[in-house]
């Protein structure tokens, strides 16, 4: 079981990065953004067939998950090389507190499963 500091960091990453990125795409696809900066992108996305939009969403999900994994792996590598980069949560270096920081998001009881609004396949939980 992960340390409380590791879970606190994981919850932040999953909710603020992964969930928000997936939700952002879904709002773009549904043309829900009102900001002028998003209007052209929403229009272009809406012109794509539904099956292509689904592929784009899968690409977004894969990219976000890969980015999270690689970021966490980089933190572990930096810790192991003593490069001076650390994430400290409640006084705990999370790379020290986890035996596999880069895999914390993926396990059956990992961060995505416990903290995410979307499951590992990007399906919204609870509706």
Burial 88-105 (b: 16+ CB within 10 A, else e): ebeebebbebbeebbebb
Interatomic CA distance for residues 45 and 14, integer angstroms: 25
Compute the mean pLDDT over every residue in the chain, rounded to the nearest whole number: 94
**Structural domain for 19, as ranges:** 4-115
Give the model's pLDDT for residue 63: 98
* Number of domains observed in the structure of the chain: 1
Which helix (H) or strand (E) segment is 92 a member of? Answer: strand 92-93
Whole-number percent of the chain with pLDDT over 70: 98
* Residue 123 belongs to a domain: no
- pTM comes to 0.92
Question: Residue 70's pLDDT band (boundaries 50, 70, 90)?
Answer: very high
Q: What is the mean pLDDT of residues 90-104?
A: 93
The proportion of the chain whose per-residue pLDDT surpasses 90, expressed as a percent, equals: 91
CA dihedral of 88, 92, 98, 103, whole degrees rounded to 10: -30
Residue 96 CA: distances (Å) to CA of 90, 108, 120: 13, 22, 26
| CA–CA distance, 17 with 103 (Å, rounded to integer) | 16
In a domain, 16, yes or no: yes
């Amino acid at each position: 079981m992960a340390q409380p500091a590791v879970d606190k960091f994981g919850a932040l990453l999953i909710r603020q990065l992964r969930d928000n990125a997936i939700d952002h795409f879904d709002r773009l696809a549904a043309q829900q953004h009102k900001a002028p900066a998003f209007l052209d992108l929403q229009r272009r996305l809406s012109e794509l067939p539904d099956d292509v939009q689904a592929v784009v969403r899968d690409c977004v999900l894969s990219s976000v998950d890969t980015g999270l994994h690689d970021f966490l792996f980089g933190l572990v590598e930096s810790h192991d090389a003593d490069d001076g980069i650390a994430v400290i949560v409640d006084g705990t270096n999370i790379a020290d507190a986890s035996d596999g920081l880069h895999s914390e998001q993926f396990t059956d009881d990992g961060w995505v499963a416990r903290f995410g609004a979307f499951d590992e396949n990007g399906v919204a939980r609870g509706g």
